[in-house]
Amino acid sequence: MTMENITQRLNETETEEIKEDWEQKVDWGKKKKEEERMKRREERVKRRKEERMKRRKEEKKKKKKGRQLQIKEGYNSSDPLTPPGRWDPWHGTHIKRSIWFYAYKGSLTEPPCTPFVQWRIMDTPMLLSIEQIIQLKRILFNHVDEKCRPTSVHSNGSVARPIQQNITHDVHRCTCHHFTSDELKAKGIHKCTKKFNYAMDVV
């Protein structure tokens, strides 16, 4: 092998090494760029997620504030309240936290309006048959007398009896101290315990 051939071989080897080194640098650069691109993408996704969560929190605050305003706007200073320090049936948070019935002493809705009735406002809807619902609709909205005049006072924008000021009457919650629900009885429970919201029952 001549000196010229040796020199040529060395030049070819050096050229291949330089080429390989360059290709490695190019691959590393591409990898680095790809990593940076993925990192920027993750940051964008994270930022958008944080912005969405922030908007949702602000919307919840606005809704909550709106509900509070509705409660305040709906309150009338002439509304009857329970004795000082007792449970307030017109307070939104008190209504929400109760799992029992509300009760108050009242009177019959028809003459002679004798005041010996214990009224119960149930915390769950009553079960009515389709026939009962149809009958109620007829009585309330469609019933007329012999001269085709509506017999229900709702057509006059009124109620059968004016709303009574309940200042002297006791409005309270019926708790498991006053009765045991059928659901608890079915479980063999006939006694009020802390497990069944005893702390909230004491007002």
136 pLDDT tier (thresholds 50, 70, 90): confident
69 and 110 in a single domain? The answer is no
**97 against 137, higher pLDDT:** 137
Looking at the structure, do residues 132 and 178 belong to the same domain, yes or no?
yes
Identify the domain containing residue 57 by its residue range.
1-74
For residue 24, pLDDT over 80 is answered with no
The answer to whether the beta carbons of residues 139 and 154 sit under 8 Å apart is: no
User: How would residue 198 be classed by pLDDT, with cut points 50, 70 and 90?
Assistant: very low
53 and 3 in one domain? yes
99 and 68 in one domain?
no
Residue 199: band (very low, low, confident or very high) from pLDDT cuts 50, 70, 90: very low
Do 57 and 110 share a domain, yes or no?
A: no
d(CA 83, CA 106): 16
- Token digits for 187? 């479980």
Do the domain assignments include residue 158? no
Q: Mind listing the pLDDT tens digit for each residue in 91-116?
A: 655 555 555 567 777 887 766 777 78
CA distance 9 to 4: 9
The total domain count for the chain is 2
Specify which residues 106 forms β-bridges with: 117
| pLDDT given for residue 4 in this prediction | 59
Euclidean distance between CA atoms 202 and 172, whole angstroms: 11
